[in-house]
Structure 1
Amino acid sequence: MHSTKPTVVISPGAWMYPDIFGKVISLFNDAGFPAEALAHPTIGAEPPNKTLYDDVASFRSRLVKLADEGKDIVVVCHSYGGCVGACAVEGLGAVQRAQAGKKGGVVMVVFMTAFAIPKGKSLLDMLGGQWLPWMRIDGDYVRTGPETFEFYFDLPEADKQYWGKRQTHTSRGAFTNPVTYEPWNDMPCMYIICEGDEGLSQPVQEHMSTLLGPDAILFRIRSGHFPFLSVPSKIVEGVALGAKTGMEKKAIALGRGGRL
């Protein structure tokens, strides 16, 4: 049976493969949301010469295909994935497309403990231009140290070890290329704040959520940096709220001749 709910497309963070979202994707599907997580070219690249813009082009190509099929889309960005998702949705808002006589498009961009970065700034800029102590830099390879295992603190020990060891390198260009678009100026956005996150601290998340503007939805949960592993049902709850709001805003905007 064809789902009338938006398709959820997940932009993963650095160092991780899409399989880390398997549990939450199953829950999205059970709730009637078609869902998928896409692999970014910078993750595990050999040689590590891919950039943010390779990730954006790859992610955007999938969004365009879904939009051209008439699908409403909720883009869910995790961590570094916020840089990718933000750039990739440019011009793909559902209302923007409707104004051009096209069906489908993005109805909501969800930043899930993710980087929301002003246009012209890179992720490294947001770190003050300094690599974090647990980032191991080797030429264009950016690897993580064992300290990052603690980012999984709210998981059982076996899961913490499994996912910690699944981390791979990310190309340096993912962190150094400037973001090229601010979706919150053109389409509805949401921030899921993870209040126990030891990877992207709550104060940093709170600050970035303010960039999304006064109309952005804030959804708070008690979890670490990987809420889709520790509390996946809460992520489905939050994204469902975002999807509902996005669809309502689309209907209102189109009823007003496409004006938000």
Structure 2
Amino acid sequence: MPDLPTLVFVPGSWHRPTCYDKVTKILHEQHGLNCVSITLPSTTGNPAATFKDDIDAAREAISSETTQGRNVVVLAHSYGGMVGNSAIKGFTRPQDASTPTTGYVIGLVLIATGFTLTGLSFMDPFFGHPPPSWRVNSETGYAELVTPPRELFYHDLPAEEAEFWVSQLTTQSLKALFEGGEHAYSGWKDVPVWYIGTVEDRGLPVLAQRMQVGMAREMGGSVEHRELQTSHSPFLSQPDVTARIILEAVEAFTGKEAGNESTISGRGDAISVPMARLWQPFTWFRFGLPLAFGHVVGRSGKVDMAFAILCPRHVRASLLSHSTKVLAIMDHQIA
């Protein structure tokens, strides 16, 4: 559909762009949306590939669309969220611009990821200590998975399919994770965001996801929050519902109907997560407590002891590869 934006998909660490194929097939074949999935240089078997290389790959895909006058929505998963956020710098439409209304990045869809902080590399907030799920191999220059990938990424897929996707995993450059903070950018402050949370996630627990959404909202982000009862990879285990949320996001970004809702079906339902308001405790129930703590973090940059109780040390350790500076601050305060 020429009047709808191009969707640029950014995968996470160790993942090829083919991980999005189920969703992009639905969006393109059933709804006519143009979808572009990029390959991150840091996952191509080159230990010298950097975070900036990944950003440049995303920016090239974005630029090829915007220079032709097409708007873009960037969709990013896990580590790819940091790439996607940083890549949109300079591509968004200034609020006071009198320029044409097309040829810009108009929104972000973030899937099971954090909210990038300007000036910080992926591992900067965590003092260079990787989480239990992966380790540093200084000899090869790659981050090596320790936790079985099926358990970490695909536990809700049938065994045979999960093993196929495990076989598709590739290497991940350490340089992209530990360096390049000067290129990191909080793109989520510049455009509206739709966040897809993953309730059964064993890589980035949903508690941390909700806390980060609350933090981003308090820091000025416009975040619409949905959750799916899935693993870290909803585009594989629930592609129909994931596609439906993406269509809703595109409609919200453009004000136009995107696709044919009647052709979307799925075995799961998305949950809309309301905003938690600090001084209205009745908004805290079910989802709101971690969201409320995120608001506290976003407002003050500090995490109080109650959150430390909610998120014990062994859980916090599992968050290090994905969460933001907030969890590092918490670890420092209660150590």
TM-score class normalised by the smaller sequence:
0.7 to 0.9
Q: What is the total number of aligned residue pairs between the two structures?
A: 247
Unpaired segments ≥5 residues, structure 1: 250-260
Structure-to-structure mapping, 1:62-211, within 5 angstroms? 62-94=61-93, 99-101=98-100, 103-127=102-126, 129-139=128-138, 140-145=141-146, 147-150=148-151, 151-176=153-178, 177-178=180-181, 180-211=184-215
The Cα offsets for residues 201-235 of structure 1, whole Å up to 9 and x where unpaired, read as 11121122224326311111111111000001111
CA deviation after TM superposition for structure 1 residue 52, in Å: 0.7
Task: Confirm or deny: 8 A CA contact 1:97 1:103 kept in the other structure.
Answer: no
Task: Report what 2:271 is aligned to.
Answer: none
Q: Between the two proteins, what is the percent identity of the paired residues? A: 27
Higher strand share: 1
Task: Confirm or deny: 8 A CA contact 1:68 1:103 kept in the other structure.
Answer: no
Q: Following the alignment from structure 2 to structure 1, what is the Cα–Cα distance between the partners of residues 216 and 33?
A: 24
Task: Confirm or deny: 8 A CA contact 1:23 1:229 kept in the other structure.
Answer: yes
RMSD: 2.1
Please give the secondary structure, in 2, of the residue aligned with 1:212: helix
The amino acid of 1:168's aligned partner reads T
Q: Following the alignment from structure 1 to structure 2, what is the Cα–Cα distance between the partners of residues 248 and 102?
A: 13
The Cα offsets for residues 11-68 of structure 1, whole Å up to 9 and x where unpaired, read as 100001111111111011122211121001000333x101111100111011011011
Q: Which has the larger radius of gyration?
A: 2
Q: Following the alignment from structure 2 to structure 1, what is the Cα–Cα distance between the partners of residues 236 and 147?
A: 19
Q: Following the alignment from structure 1 to structure 2, what is the Cα–Cα distance between the partners of residues 34 and 101?
A: 21
CA deviation after TM superposition for structure 1 residue 238, in Å: 1.1
Task: Confirm or deny: 8 A CA contact 2:135 2:144 kept in the other structure.
Answer: yes
Task: Report what 2:228 is aligned to.
Answer: 221
Further displaced range: 117-126 or 50-59: 117-126
The Cα offsets for residues 160-214 of structure 1, whole Å up to 9 and x where unpaired, read as 1111122111111221132521122221112111111111111121122224326
The amino acid of 1:167's aligned partner reads L
Structure-1-length-normalised TM-score = 0.88
Task: Confirm or deny: 8 A CA contact 1:90 1:181 kept in the other structure.
Answer: yes
Q: Following the alignment from structure 1 to structure 2, what is the Cα–Cα distance between the partners of residues 10 and 97?
A: 28
Q: Following the alignment from structure 2 to structure 1, what is the Cα–Cα distance between the partners of residues 143 and 201?
A: 21
Further displaced range: 87-96 or 14-23: 87-96
Task: Report what 1:42 is aligned to.
Answer: 42
The Cα offsets for residues 69-126 of structure 1, whole Å up to 9 and x where unpaired, read as 1111110010000111011001111456964557311111111112212112222235
Please give the secondary structure, in 1, of the residue aligned with 2:118: coil
Q: Following the alignment from structure 2 to structure 1, what is the Cα–Cα distance between the partners of residues 121 and 234?
A: 25
